Structure 1
Amino acid sequence: MPQNFVPFLKENARKDMIALLNERLVDTIDLTNAVKQAHWNLKGVGFIGVHELLDDVAAHLRDGADMMAERVAMMGGMAQGTSETVAEKSSLTAYPTDIVSVEDHVKELVKRFNEYSTNVRKAIEAADEAGDEDSADLFTEVSRTAEKDAWFIGSNSAKAA
């Protein structure tokens, strides 16, 4: 087993945090893939602005995923982010692959960002309860970025909410 660089956590809390970080890692990878699906396929009024925005959003999500995976490794766990794991364990609603309009993609992305943000906020609470302030802080940073990105995406349409 890899070395644990977070020795202050009790063993059960450490295992719980590894599992929680992996759960949110899976969701983050899934949401990143949804953002890229939209990026590649959207068409219509406002295309270029949304297309470019989604590249930035995907980069933010990848940064969050990287922080989660590295925290898992620091705690002596194994990050679980394979395509197979994401397909099997994501808690997010599957992204539609048959839409093309900017409006439809914005609406669907905002929906998934809301699901994602709810899960991340629950993770903040769980990390606080476990006494893992660093994981709670990591989730807070991810949450703050996701909410801002959802706002930017949703601001592209009055119908997004």
Structure 2
Amino acid sequence: MTSVTPKPNASLDFYPTRIDIAADIRTAVVKILSQTLASTLDLKTQTKQAHWNVKGMSFYSLHELFDEMAGELEEFVDMVAERITALGGTALGTARIAAKNSILPEYPSDIVEGEEHVTALSDRFAAYGAHVRSAIEQTNELTDADTADLYTEISRAIDKRLWFLEAHLVKKS
């Protein structure tokens, strides 16, 4: 079996681009985007975990909702990875890298009922949404309006999905 030795500092390599954003700003933005890429991949797989394993009276509707949400997250993965590469960076999106660099806690493997999955996903969508809002602020401060706009698009969708999840948890007093 052949072994491939990764290039040293592969995550720090940048490729030439004619984008008129200074290299130091692109480097800082790519660092933010890279954490988002890892966290988005992680959130997508956690959402699929819920999709595959949900049980109970709301099985079908939650199974479908979780699958739809995972599909939307896949689109965000692609958007973030492509922005990294457009800025001259390298999109690092393997499962191992995502697990290592995600801001999210591990998804519980012992939950079954729909409400448990909705609660676990709500917690993770809320944390991810906070990360994305912070990234909007950071990329605005770095004067990268395009990346901030990308984050704004993601933020709106994540807030809507969190609302969908939390609507399942509301109980009358």
Fold agreement, TM-score > 0.5: yes
Q: Which residue of 1 aligns with 2:7?
A: none
2:11 paired residue number: none
Aligned position for 1:112: 124
- Structure 1 stretches lacking a partner, 5+ long: none
Q: C-alpha separation between the residues in 1 aligned to 2:132 and 2:91?
A: 17
Q: Is 1:2 the counterpart of 2:15 in the alignment?
A: yes
Q: Secondary structure at the match of 1:97?
A: coil
Counterpart position of 1:158: 170
Using the alignment, how far apart are the partners of 2:109 and 2:153 within structure 1?
Answer: 30
Residue 2 (structure 1) shift: 2.8
Alpha-carbon distance, 1:8 to partner: 2.0
User: 1:90-109 to 2 correspondence within 5 Å?
Assistant: 90-109=102-121
Question: Is 1:58 aligned to 2:100, yes or no?
Answer: no
Q: Which has the higher contact order (CA 8 A, sep 6+)?
A: 1
**Do the aligned residues in 2 keep the contact of 1:27 with 1:86 (CA within 8 Å)?**
yes
TM-score by length of 1: 0.94
CA shift for structure 1 position 150? 1.3
- Number of aligned pairs? 158
Let me know the Cα RMSD of the aligned residues. Answer: 1.1
Code of the residue aligned with 2:92 in structure 1: it is Q
The answer as to whether partners of 1:3 and 1:74 remain within 8 angstroms in 2 is: no
Which letter does structure 2 place at the counterpart of 1:116? Y
2-structure distance, mates of 1:4, 1:148: 35
1:68-88, Cα deviation, whole Å (9 max, x unpaired): 000001011000111110111
Match of 1:29 in 2: 41
Alpha-carbon separation, structure 1, partners of 2:71 and 2:129: 17
Contact 1:23 1:90 in 2 (8 A): yes
CA distance in structure 2 between the aligned counterparts of 1:8 and 1:154, rounded to whole angstroms: 42
Write the distance in 2 (CA, Å) between the matches of 1:153 and 1:66. 23
CA distance in 2, matches of 1:87, 1:52: 25
Distance 1:43 1:154 in 2: 18
Shift of 1:154: 1.9
Q: CA–CA distance in 2 between the matches of 1:2 and 1:16?
A: 15
Distance of 2:167 and 2:52 partners within structure 1: 20
Q: Residue 126 of structure 2: SS of its match in structure 1?
A: helix
**Alignment correspondent of 2:6:** none
**Is residue 67 from structure 1 mapped to residue 79 from structure 2 by the alignment?**
yes
Offset at residue 3 of structure 1 (A):
3.1
Q: Deviations 1:77-127 (Å, cap 9, x if unpaired)?
A: 000111110111111111101100001000000000010000000000000
Match of residue 45 from structure 1: 57
Is residue 27–residue 90 contact of structure 1 (8 Å, CA) maintained in 2?
yes
